[in-house]
Structure 1
Amino acid sequence: MEQKTLQLLDDEQMQSFISKGFLILKTDFKNEFHTRLLEQLDYVYEKEGNPGNNLLPRIRELQVVFDSPVIKGALTSVLGPNYIMHTHRYGHLNSNPVPGGWHKDSYWGYQRMRNHKQWWAMIMYFPQDTPLELGPTGVMPGTQYHESRIFEQDDNDWEGKANGGAGTFALIHYDIWHRSNSNLTGKQRYMLKFEFMRTDAATEPTWNCTDPQWQAPSALDIPMDRHDLLWENNWNWMAGKGGDLSGRQSGGEHADVAEFAKQLQNEDAHVRAEAANQLGLLAGPDAGQIRQLLADALQDSYEPVRLNAAYGLAACGSAGAELLLNAVKDGEKPVAVSAAYGLTASGAYAEEGLIRLTKSDKELTVHLAAFALGELDAVGEAAAQAIIGLTKHASAIIRRTAVEVLGNLQVTDNGAITAALAEALADEDHQVRFWAGLSLAKKGPQAESAIPELVHALDDDSRYVRGHAAEALRRIGTNESNNVLLDYLLATRWCPISTPQNEWYP
C-alpha cells in the first residue's frame, strides 16, 4: 500500500493548540467511505448495541481513519512519532435536544494530577455531516489547564464547536472542558472518541516547525485568560528544548509593575489573571519586587491567577522555587496544586526540595512532590530512588502517582525502575496496576525483564491492565515478547462477523 506523507501541523496551528487546547480539522476521505462507515455503525448500534472498547475490531474500516495522513500527522505533531492508541475507545450517540453538562474526562479516577505538558491527546471523529443543529461536541478554549470550571453552564459565546462535513474531527488536549451540544434534528449523531498517549519526552519538534521560537498569539479572538509563560514552557518542551523556566532571562524591574500590582487587587478576576500573567513575563532571578507580588498572587482564589503566579515564580530561580516548595508543603490544596505545576518548570532548583517533600507525612504533599519530579526535564539517581520507594507507600493514591511517574522519569534505568513497575503489576489496587502497565509500555525494550509479570497481567481483572500489558509486550519487541503477544492475540481474537444476527456456520 502506498505510504502517503503525513500532514503535520504548522507553527501557527501548534501555537493555537497549545493556547486554546484544540484544533478542528478534516480528513480527505470520499463521501462513499463515510456512507459505508455510517451504514455499518447504524447496523451495529441498532442490532447489537454499543460495542464500547470493541468498536475498532467490530468495524475494522475505522483503522483506515486513524491511519490517514491527516490524523497521524496531527497526532505525531503533538505526541511524537511513537505515540500509542489507548485501549479505551467509544462511540458516542447524541440525539438529545438538551445540551450535555460540561466535564473533563477521567483517565481512571479523578484523583491524579493532570499534565499541563502534552502527554495525552484525544480525537473526536464525526463520520457524518455535522451541522450545528445536529449537536457537535463543544469545547471551552484554554480550559485544558484549569481544574475548576471557571465559566457558567450556559456561557457559550466563546465555545468551540466541532461542526463540519463528514470526516471532521477535533484534536483536543485530553484535559479540556467539553460537552455535547443540543441535537435539534431528531436524528442520531455519532462521535467516535479515541485516546492517544505520548511514550517519550520530545527531543526535537515533531511538527512542521519553521521557527523554533515561541510566538505568543498577539490577540485572542475569544475572551479567555492568557497563560503566556505556561504556553511558552510547553512549546519549548514539545520542541525538545526542555520545560525549564528557571533560566529564562529576566524582564527586570519595569515601569508598569506598580500598575500590575494595583491590578492584582481588582475585583475582576480576569484583570487579576492578566496582571499576574504580565508580571510573570517580567520575572527573573533578580526581580525581587515581582517575586513577592507573585508569591501573594499564588494565594488568589481564582485558579488562572494562581497558575500565572506559579509559572512566574518558576522563572525566579532558586528563590522562586523555594516559595513554591513551601506552598506545596504548607498551602491549602488549591494553592499547593498550582505551586506543584510551577515546580514542574523550576528545573534543578526544585529537585532537591521535591525529594525532601516525598518524605512528608502528608499525603497531598507527597503526591504533588512525586508528580512534579516526574515532570522535570532530567533528574538524578536520588530522585529515582525516592519515587521507587513510594511504590510501596501505604496510600494507593501515592502508589498510583509513583508508578505513573516512573514511566515519565527522564533518568537511565539500571533495572530498578523496571523491577518496581513489574512488582506493581500485582498491586491490590487496580489503578496502580493500570499505571504500572502503561509505564512499562512507555519503557519499550528497557522493560524486557518484566515479561513474566506482563504475561500474568494479560489475565488481569481490568481490561485496561490487559491492554497495557499487551502494548508493553509489543513495544518490548523481542522474539519472546512477540511470541507471547501473538499467542495471546490469537487466543482472544475478535471475529467481527460472528454476531447474534449472524449464524455461526458456515
Structure 2
Amino acid sequence: MGNDIRLLTDEQMRQFITQGYLLLKTDFPASFHEELLGRLSEVYGTEGNPGNNLLPRIPELQKVFDHPVVAGGLTSVLGEGYMMHAHRHGHYNSSPQPGNWHKDSYWGYKRMRNHRPWWAMIMYFPQDTPLELGPTGVMPGTQNYETRTFAAEESAGEATAAGGAGTFALIHYDIWHRSTANVAGRERFMLKFEFMRTQAPTAPSWDNREPSWRTPDGIGETVYPHEAMWKDTWNWLCGRTGGSEKDWAPDVGAADTDTARLLGELGADEAGLRVKASDRLAVSGTSPDVLHALERALDDGFEPVALNAAYGLARSGEAGLEALLRALEHENVRVSRLAAHGLAASGDAALRGLLAALDSRREETVFHAVFALGEQKGSASSAVVVQALAGLLGNPSERLRCAAVDALGSIGAWREEARPRAGVEALSAALSDSDAQVRFTAGLALSKWGAAAEEAVPGLVAALEDDNRYVRAHAAEALFYIGTAKAKDALLAFLRPARWCPTTTPASTFYP
C-alpha cells in the first residue's frame, strides 16, 4: 500500500456523475479487518452503539480514511480540504427483511439538496459481505430525484455493496438507498461516514485526461438519461460554470423530422419514452417549439422528465432563462424547485432575475432563489448578492435563514480575494440564531470561508459551549479550516480538556 492517494479516473468519475456511486476496495491485510471486526463486536456487545464517538472509541478506523483509495476517491469527488462530518454511525444489520428506501437528511430537512457534489458518503464494510449478509443497496442514477421513481418493493436495477472485507461504497449523499436482507444469521457491520466539500472546484481534482464530457456507453440501459445535467456537473467539477462556456453550448441539433418526432414523444403516456425525448430535446437546440415544449415539461408528473426540461432551458440562452424565472413563481412547488436547479446552471445571466425573486411574497420562491444564488460562481465577488442574502437572516422563517446561511457558505467556498466582509459578519451573527439548524449550518458555512473568516473566531468560541452537539462540532471544524494562529489557539484550548481516551470504559476506568 503506497502513500500516494489514488485518484479516480475519468471513467470512474463519469460513473459517479451518472449513477451516483462507486464500489471500491482497500487492500489492508486480512488481519487488519479481523482485529477491527473484533473491536466492533466487543464495543457493540458491551457498550452499545458508540454513535458519533465511533472514531475516537475505535481509533484504528482512521487508517481506513487515510488509505490511498479512500482518500483518493474523496479528493476526486470533493476536492482537497474536504471535511469529515461530525456525524458518523456504525450500522448493525441483523434483519432478515430489507429496509425502507430512503435519502438521508441533513440533520433536518430545511435545506435544498444539491445536484452538484458538495457532499458524499462512505459506507465501509469491515467483513466479507456476500449478498446473503445484507449489504447496503443503492438505486443507481437516483441521486438527483426528490421523489422515488420506482416502487417501494422494487429491487430491479438495485446495486449492492457486496464484496470482500474492505469494500466500500462512495456515494452521492442524496442517492436512494436501503439495507438489504441479512438472511445469513451473522452480524454485519457497515460504517457510515459523511463528508463535505469546503472549496468550490477551480480545476479537476481527479486524474483527468479528457477535458470534455462524454456520456458513458450503454448508460441508458441502467439509468434514465440526463445528458444536459451530467454535462453541467462535469463542467462544474472542472471549474467551468455558466451558460457562456463553450462546453455548455447546445449540441448539434437533430434533423427537423427528428425534432418533430421527439416533440410528439414528449407527450407520450409511457414515462420512459418521455424521459428519452426530453433528454434529446434538452441538448438538441433552442427553437421556439422546443423551448415551449420544455417549459411545459417542467410540470410533467414524472420527475426525470421535468429535470431534463430544467437543464435544457438552462442551455437555451435568454429565452430559456426567462422561462425558468417564470417557473420559479409557479404555483406547483416542485416546478419552482426544478427551475432553481436550472437557474443554478444558467450562470451569471441569472443573477439579476434571482435577486429580484428575493422580493417575492411567496416563501418557496425566495427559498429556491436563495439556493440558486449560492450555486453561482459570479456571486462570489458580488457585494450586492452577499448583502441581499445577509438581509434574509432577520427573516422570521427559519428555513429561509438556514438557506441564506448555506448560500453564503457556498459563496465563501470560491476563496476569492474580493469576497465581501459582510458575509463573515452575517455568518458570525447566525451562530447565535434561535434555531439550532441555522447555528450549525453557520459553522459549516464559515469553514468554507477559510482564513477570510478570522473575524468570526470570537463567535465560534462562544458556539463551542452551545447545547447542540453539531453546533459545537461545526464551530470546532470552522476554527480548524480558518487555520490562523488565533483560530488554532482557540481550537486547542477547546480540545485539550476534551481529549478522549479510547481505552477508558466502564470495565476499565483507570488501569492499566
| TM-score, normalised with respect to structure 2 | 0.96
Residue equivalent to 1:259: 261
Q: Confirm or deny: 8 A CA contact 1:244 1:377 kept in the other structure.
A: no
Query: What does 1:344-363 align with in structure 2 at a 5 Å threshold?
Result: 344-363=344-363
For residues 433-487 of structure 1, give each alpha carbon's deviation from its aligned partner in whole angstroms, at most 9, with x where no partner exists: 0110100111110110011000000011111111111011111112221111111
Query: What does 1:238-277 align with in structure 2 at a 5 Å threshold?
Result: 238-244=237-243, 248-250=248-250, 251-252=252-253, 254-255=255-256, 256-277=258-279
Query: Separation in 1 of the partners of 2:270 and 2:448?
Result: 44
Could you say if the C-alpha distance between residues 47 and 222 of structure 1 is closer, same or farther in structure 2, counting changes exceeding 3 Å?
A: farther
For residues 195-236 of structure 1, give each alpha carbon's deviation from its aligned partner in whole angstroms, at most 9, with x where no partner exists: 001011101111011111111013127432111000010001
Query: Separation in 2 of the partners of 1:76 and 1:244?
Result: 26
Structure 1 stretch 291-300 or stretch 169-178: which is displaced more? 291-300
Query: What does 1:432-451 align with in structure 2 at a 5 Å threshold?
Result: 432-451=438-457
For residues 92-118 of structure 1, give each alpha carbon's deviation from its aligned partner in whole angstroms, at most 9, with x where no partner exists: 000000000000000121232100001
SS in 1 for 2:282: helix
2:504 equivalent among 469, 486, 498: 498
Query: Separation in 1 of the partners of 2:202 and 2:183?
Result: 47
Q: Confirm or deny: 8 A CA contact 1:234 1:243 kept in the other structure.
A: no
Residue equivalent to 2:309: 309
Query: Separation in 2 of the partners of 1:11 and 1:117?
Result: 17
For residues 107-161 of structure 1, give each alpha carbon's deviation from its aligned partner in whole angstroms, at most 9, with x where no partner exists: 1212321000010000000000000000000000000010000101222121010
Q: Confirm or deny: 8 A CA contact 2:241 2:347 kept in the other structure.
A: no
Residue equivalent to 1:107: 106
Q: Confirm or deny: 8 A CA contact 2:73 2:170 kept in the other structure.
A: yes
Could you say if the C-alpha distance between residues 323 and 233 of structure 1 is closer, same or farther in structure 2, counting changes exceeding 3 Å?
A: same
| TM-score, normalised with respect to structure 1 | 0.97
Residue equivalent to 2:206: 207
1:429 equivalent among 435, 439, 443: 435
Q: Confirm or deny: 8 A CA contact 2:81 2:197 kept in the other structure.
A: yes
Could you say if the C-alpha distance between residues 501 and 167 of structure 1 is closer, same or farther in structure 2, counting changes exceeding 3 Å?
A: same
Residue equivalent to 1:64: 63
For residues 159-207 of structure 1, give each alpha carbon's deviation from its aligned partner in whole angstroms, at most 9, with x where no partner exists: 0100000000000000000000000011110000000010111011110
Q: Which amino acid aligns with 2:359?
A: K
Query: Separation in 2 of the partners of 1:131 and 1:245?
Result: 48
Residue equivalent to 1:300: 300
Could you say if the C-alpha distance between residues 243 and 502 of structure 1 is closer, same or farther in structure 2, counting changes exceeding 3 Å?
A: farther
Structure 1 stretch 467-476 or stretch 57-66: which is displaced more? 467-476
Q: Confirm or deny: 8 A CA contact 2:83 2:197 kept in the other structure.
A: yes
Residue equivalent to 1:342: 342
SS in 1 for 2:189: strand
Q: Confirm or deny: 8 A CA contact 2:440 2:475 kept in the other structure.
A: no
Structure 1 stretch 295-304 or stretch 93-102: which is displaced more? 295-304
Query: Separation in 1 of the partners of 2:436 and 2:477?
Result: 17
For residues 320-354 of structure 1, give each alpha carbon's deviation from its aligned partner in whole angstroms, at most 9, with x where no partner exists: 11111111113311111111111111112211000
Query: Separation in 2 of the partners of 1:233 and 1:448?
Result: 33
Query: Separation in 2 of the partners of 1:217 and 1:154?
Result: 28
Could you say if the C-alpha distance between residues 134 and 3 of structure 1 is closer, same or farther in structure 2, counting changes exceeding 3 Å?
A: closer
Q: Which amino acid aligns with 2:437?
A: Q
For residues 397-423 of structure 1, give each alpha carbon's deviation from its aligned partner in whole angstroms, at most 9, with x where no partner exists: 000000010010146323110010000
Query: Separation in 2 of the partners of 1:150 and 1:238?
Result: 26
Q: Which amino acid aligns with 1:494?
A: W
Q: Confirm or deny: 8 A CA contact 1:424 1:436 kept in the other structure.
A: yes
Shift of 1:293: 1.2
Structure 1 stretch 236-245 or stretch 454-463: which is displaced more? 236-245
Q: Confirm or deny: 8 A CA contact 1:425 1:432 kept in the other structure.
A: yes
Residue equivalent to 2:75: 76
Residue equivalent to 1:476: 482
Shift of 1:254: 3.0
For residues 284-341 of structure 1, give each alpha carbon's deviation from its aligned partner in whole angstroms, at most 9, with x where no partner exists: 4xx2221111111111111011100000000011111111111111331111111111
Query: Separation in 1 of the partners of 2:423 and 2:63?
Result: 37
Q: Which amino acid aligns with 1:299?
A: D
Residue equivalent to 2:493: 487
Q: Confirm or deny: 8 A CA contact 1:124 1:194 kept in the other structure.
A: yes
SS in 2 for 1:144: coil
SS in 1 for 2:107: coil
What is the aligned residue count? 503
Q: Confirm or deny: 8 A CA contact 1:99 1:181 kept in the other structure.
A: yes
Could you say if the C-alpha distance between residues 249 and 487 of structure 1 is closer, same or farther in structure 2, counting changes exceeding 3 Å?
A: closer
Q: Which amino acid aligns with 1:25?
A: L
For residues 71-100 of structure 1, give each alpha carbon's deviation from its aligned partner in whole angstroms, at most 9, with x where no partner exists: 000000000011010000100000000000
- RMSD over equivalenced CA pairs, Å: 1.4
Shift of 1:64: 0.4
Q: Which amino acid aligns with 1:394?
A: P
Query: Separation in 2 of the partners of 1:81 and 1:156?
Result: 36
Residue equivalent to 1:196: 195
Q: Is the aligned partner of 1:118 residue 2:124?
A: no
Query: Separation in 2 of the partners of 1:490 and 1:3?
Result: 32
Shift of 1:3: 6.8
Q: Specify every segment of 5 or more residues in structure 1 that has no aligned partner in the other structure, as ranges.
A: none
Residue equivalent to 2:282: 280
Query: Separation in 2 of the partners of 1:36 and 1:324?
Result: 55
Q: Is the aligned partner of 1:150 residue 2:156?
A: no
Query: What does 1:17-56 align with in structure 2 at a 5 Å threshold?
Result: 17-56=16-55
Q: Specify every segment of 5 or more residues in structure 2 that has no aligned partner in the other structure, as ranges.
A: none
Query: Separation in 2 of the partners of 1:385 and 1:347?
Result: 19
Query: Separation in 2 of the partners of 1:81 and 1:477?
Result: 15
Structure 1 stretch 371-380 or stretch 213-222: which is displaced more? 213-222
For residues 216-267 of structure 1, give each alpha carbon's deviation from its aligned partner in whole angstroms, at most 9, with x where no partner exists: 0131274321110000100010011225478633334732111011101111
Residue equivalent to 1:318: 318
Residue equivalent to 2:365: 365
1:419 equivalent among 425, 433, 438: 425
Q: Confirm or deny: 8 A CA contact 1:245 1:315 kept in the other structure.
A: no
Query: Separation in 1 of the partners of 2:79 and 2:395?
Result: 33
Query: Separation in 2 of the partners of 1:111 and 1:450?
Result: 24
